[in-house]
Amino acid sequence: MKRTRRFCTLLLTIAAMLTAMAQEAGNYKPDKRNVQLDSTNLPIVFIEVNGTMIQKDDYITARMKVVNNGEGKMNYRDTVAHPGQQIDYDGYIALKYRGSSSFYNADKKPYTIRPIDKPLEENGKKQKVAFMGMPKDNNWALLSAYADKTLMRDLLSFILARPYMEYVPQGRYCEMLLDGMYYGVFIMCEKVTKGKYRLNLEEPGDEGDELTGDYLVEVDRSDEPGFRSDFSPYNNSGRPYKGYYTPYIKFAEPDGDEITTNQMAYIQQAFHDMEASFLTGNYAEFVDVTSMIDYQIATELAHNVDGYRLSTNLYKRRDSKDKRFKTSLWDLNLGWGNADYYYGSNTNTWIYQLNPTLYSRGDEQMVPFWWYVMNHDKTYIKALERRWTLCRYGGYSNERINAVIDSLALTLTCNDAVTRNYKAWPRLSTYVWPNSYVGGTYANEVAHLKQWASQRLQAMDRTLYKPVKGDVNGDGEVSVADITMLVSLVLAQKSNPRSDVNEDTETSIADISALVGILTNDSSTATVN
């Protein structure tokens, strides 16, 4: 049965690739090819390939110009009639299509962009360029968000997680024209790479401390150089699927073309040692537990069906700095209830528990076993609960999430960018793989996202939300700092969601007395029932 499924999957993949090859010559033009863009509040990206076929695996030379007059200002397509506009970049780029499912299952394709000083045919070299207020780098993604009809799921996750994680990519909406034809709304996005303003990784050496870092690897498909994990994935009873596919880990920084034999051997052994530490219980020496928790919170909140097992970045610095693996975020456009498979639209299940379903359906990409181990470790669970509660007080509050959604929606609608996008690609009333919801209008899509997010928050709260009584400042513990804040609130006749310590529906001197009592009795771990 599993062989049959895998064979069918292979046939579908081959069919998709043949279709892609047949269409590449037209560079996947939009359905409606006469959509006009005169002015927009979003930056405008002009790409010129002069009819050259853009490739999936190999870069071609193109030219790109980016008009960006800044936030709150209009950008104009006609730079002659509107002189003096701010040009972020006007020069050569190396260009190719990017992505896996986002390429083969999408009519509107995403791109990888690398600014270069001259054409590739003249040995053009990469150069670092700043786009749309984001720091300089030489490696950019132009995301199409085709399957995500709100166009915001990736950015929503990135924005919410940024205050908590060491590095999360930034992105900016723009509208793109290819060879003069309007192609729609895209996201010019940083990639999870080694750049100075990104992960800021050093080049590893071939011996000594330099050999120990810095590295970036990615749990993903086995379509690029890398290695298999030595450890089988677990089912939800903690038993390994022996003899089945183990997770595949790609070399990312350095990549498969640049990594040396010594570096390859080192990072593979380091990854093995990290995974082995989960069997002995000393994994905190090998992974940054807070980083893992923050990744899990972002992944589970979005209920991302690709989480943990695909596009999961782990990076490691030199041992002399920090030998622990940390995580970042990427590729959440199928999250937030946007997938009709693997229970993606559910709000009350956990993605880290997905392996039985993946195994039964013959999916090679399974969740690494260490996520099971951590989520059955009382110390980790307690830390996860504390972090979730802290997040719910701050950046992951209902109010904050709705405000981000509203802000992104306003950016896209205030000058009709969304309208133009869905004129070029009329999909709002059409199923697009793997939509679990077809709203018919952009407003319905946004409303559905907010409703789904609210239900998901409630479900996660039922398991993880453990507010600490007396934790007025929301740092997860009770201390003198809470008294200081509470006194300030009482004097100012203000309150916050945590200031009613004695639960009498108001913030007053009585709450100060109650808080002093909690501190005196050393009840900093008491939770609200």
- Same domain assignment for residues 345 and 459: no
Give the number of domains in the chain.
Answer: 4
> Does residue 313 belong to any structural domain of this protein?
yes
* Domain end point (choices 442, 464, 486): 464
Nearest CA-CA partner of 184 in 153, 141, 146: 146
Return d(Cα 128, Cα 136) in angstroms, integer: 5
Please count the other Cβ atoms lying within 10 Å of the Cβ belonging to residue 33: 10
Nearest CA-CA partner of 312 in 420, 232, 418, 221: 221
* Domain end point (choices 376, 409, 434): 376
Q: List own/partner pairs for 220-224 with CB under 8 A and 24 or more apart.
A: 220/248, 220/249, 220/250, 220/310, 220/311, 220/312, 220/365, 221/100, 221/248, 221/310, 221/364, 221/365, 222/248, 222/364, 223/100, 224/250, 224/251, 224/255, 224/256
- Same domain assignment for residues 473 and 455: no
Return d(Cα 126, Cα 113) in angstroms, integer: 10
> Does residue 183 belong to any structural domain of this protein?
yes
SS (H, E, C) 60-81: EEEEEEEECCCCCCCEECCCCC
- Same domain assignment for residues 6 and 18: yes
- Same domain assignment for residues 160 and 240: no
Count helices and strands in the chain by DSSP H and E runs: 14, 14
> Does residue 329 belong to any structural domain of this protein?
yes
- Same domain assignment for residues 441 and 492: no
Q: Residues 209-223: pLDDT tens digits?
A: 999 999 999 999 999
> Does residue 202 belong to any structural domain of this protein?
no
> Does residue 353 belong to any structural domain of this protein?
yes
> Does residue 147 belong to any structural domain of this protein?
yes
Nearest CA-CA partner of 28 in 39, 41, 15, 19: 19
Q: Residues 7-49: pLDDT tens digits?
A: 445 544 554 555 445 445 589 999 999 999 999 999 999 999 9
- Same domain assignment for residues 120 and 249: no
Output the DSSP codes for 136-177.
PBS-EEEE---S-TTS-HHHHHHHHHTTTSS----EEEEEEE
Domain hosting 182: range is 2-190
- Same domain assignment for residues 326 and 403: no
- Same domain assignment for residues 155 and 19: yes
> Does residue 338 belong to any structural domain of this protein?
yes
- Same domain assignment for residues 442 and 481: no
What single DSSP character describes residue 40? E
Q: Tens of pLDDT along the chain (529 residues)?
A: 444 445 445 544 554 555 445 445 589 999 999 999 999 999 999 999 999 999 999 999 999 999 999 999 999 999 999 999 999 999 999 999 998 888 999 999 999 999 999 999 999 999 999 999 999 999 999 999 999 999 999 999 999 999 999 999 999 999 999 999 999 999 999 999 999 999 999 999 999 999 999 999 999 999 999 999 999 999 999 999 999 999 999 999 999 999 999 999 999 999 999 999 999 999 999 999 999 999 999 999 999 999 999 999 999 999 999 999 999 999 999 999 999 999 999 999 999 999 999 999 999 999 999 999 999 999 999 999 999 999 998 999 999 999 999 999 999 999 999 999 999 999 999 999 999 999 999 999 999 999 999 999 999 999 999 888 888 887 778 999 999 989 889 898 888 878 889 988 899 999 898 898 888 885 444 554 4
- Same domain assignment for residues 51 and 119: yes
Give pTM, 2 decimals.
0.91
> Does residue 196 belong to any structural domain of this protein?
no
- Same domain assignment for residues 267 and 346: yes
